[in-house]
Structure 1
Amino acid sequence: MVLTSQPDTTADLVVRKLNERDVPVFRFDTTAFPTEATMAAQLGGGWGGGMRLGERELELDRVGSAYYRRPGEFAMPASISPAARRFAAAQSRAGLLGVLVSLDCLWVNHPGRNADASYKPWQLTVAEHVGLRPPRTLITNDPDAARRFAKDIDGPVIYKTLAGGVVDDDGVPKGMPTSVVDPDGLDDSIALCAHQFQEWVDKQHEVRLTVVGDEFFAAEIHAGSDDAHVDWRNDYASLSYEIADVPDDVRRGVVELMRSFGLVFGALDFVVTPAGEWRFLEINPNGQWGWIETVTGLPIATALAELLQRGTTT
């Protein structure tokens, strides 16, 4: 079962590999429920029954693995009132996803584990515990605490969002990349919400490490502009890539980090210092990887297809 939106070119890479292996795939976007798709699930030694979408059917007790990519939001009939749409969406989400996440199968990743691992302060706590050396970090809504932190660091300080990084600017979504903070600009607006400040770690380059089961796919990301040196998402056109080897101590730490959160997939970001030290930045439990495969040739889609086909990480 592949849960994702339409279109999703990254999921397409995995579905294509599964099709080449003659593995039956039921691809489903939650926007189709309840207007286009139906479900009838009955409890008795687990959930039995199935789903139907057009001419396709899914028997729930035959699902061997599930790839939870990026399904869309539930779409309710426009003919009912806004209040009824909100109620129906909440019931549909709780019912459909409640049944699906109860299935006894391999999840890549289970939505509950994704949700847990998305809390960045928790990531940093675990990363520090397993020896992945995250930067010194402050989470605060206290302007005075932010100013003290910047003073104590006695060097560049960066600001990073804690959740997503997308805001609504006059109805147009935009990203909020990492930015270097001017200590003199730390004003009282910090009190409006929680903020994440970190020390700047000198970097030779960064690494995007994609983990699939017990397979590691690491790509160095080299910035070709000042903007990309702060955050490589600022200038994709300037980037260059090289396949990297993962140091043994980093590999051990990542294995422990993944195990702590119950993940079988993760996209991790590291800074590599001029001295060659790997410093953990964050893990996205449902991160993008398609472009890394395209520019490096790393067989990530094949690894995901093989994992889903096996239905187990062992």
Structure 2
Amino acid sequence: MTVPTSLFTTIPEEAAQFAQGAEHLIVKSVSGRHPENPPLTFPACRVEKGVDFSGVSHSATCLQHEVRAVAHLRLTVVGTELFPCFITPPAGVLDWRFEPTEDCRWEIKEIPPELRKSALEFMAAYGLVYGALDFAITEDGEFNFLEINSKGQFGFVELQTGAPISKAIAAWLTEPRSWSPCWG
């Protein structure tokens, strides 16, 4: 899978050096929940040139070279079942998770066979039976793997698309050894 150059750090000097090599850089929350009142996380946002990285020492920080995406893929994996949800936010939106759901287009559709194979190999390599993999899709159709949420939310995908993710989880929980990559 194509992965944008990324850095997780708490060292301000490392962050500053990493930023020097990036044309466009974003910072992402490492943990937290979707915004509530009060907010407990923040959306991915662009990093301006010359920013002071001293605050990085207070918490783990994820910096990533920005992928100029036209759409996104939330690929929910349960065992060997894949639920690919393509999300198209309004033009210019960096982080679709903070947009009203009605402002985005949500579609379940096939993914390329090589992406399916790579995702399942990734899950097996890390011994995971559930994961929410996030991809940024460029204008030329390239899928860029951004991260995996090993306990990522899936309910919003079901609500928007009708994808039977809960049913797949229930099936795995009742017969986990029958199709889990962890159990061979």
TM-score when scaled to structure 1? 0.52
Quick check: 2:28–2:43 contact (8 Å CA) kept in 1? yes
Q: What are the equivalent positions in structure 2 for 1:97-116 lying under 5 Å apart? A: none
Q: Report what 2:182 is aligned to.
A: none
Q: Are 1:156 and 2:36 counterparts?
A: no
Q: What is the Cα deviation at residue 165 of structure 1?
A: 5.8
Q: What is the Cα deviation at residue 166 of structure 1?
A: 7.3
Q: What is the Cα deviation at residue 173 of structure 1?
A: 4.4
Q: Report what 1:286 is aligned to.
A: 151
Q: Structure 2 CA distance, aligned partners of 1:143 and 1:165?
A: 25
- SS of equivalent residue, structure 1 residue 293: helix
Q: Report what 1:172 is aligned to.
A: 38
Match of 2:117 among 252, 259, 276: 252
Considering only CA atoms, is the larger Rg found in Structure 1 or Structure 2? 1
Q: Structure 1 CA distance, aligned partners of 2:170 and 2:122?
A: 23
Structure 2, unpaired ranges of 5+: 180-184
Higher relative contact order (CA 8 A, sep 6+): 2
Q: What is the Cα deviation at residue 211 of structure 1?
A: 0.9
Q: What is the Cα deviation at residue 299 of structure 1?
A: 1.6
- One-letter code aligned to 2:161: T
C-alpha change, 1:160 and 1:236, in structure 2 (3 Å) is same
Q: Structure 1 CA distance, aligned partners of 2:11 and 2:118?
A: 32
Quick check: 1:225–1:235 contact (8 Å CA) kept in 2? no
Q: What are the equivalent positions in structure 2 for 1:55-204 lying under 5 Å apart? A: 132-153=1-22, 155-164=23-32, 172-204=38-70
Q: Which has the higher helix share?
A: 1
Number of residue pairs matched by the alignment: 178
TM-score when scaled to structure 2? 0.85
Q: Structure 2 CA distance, aligned partners of 1:206 and 1:296?
A: 15
Match of 1:220 among 86, 92, 97: 86
- One-letter code aligned to 2:111: V
Quick check: 1:142–1:191 contact (8 Å CA) kept in 2? yes
1:198-221: CA deviation from partner (whole Å, max 9, x where unpaired): 100011200111111111110101
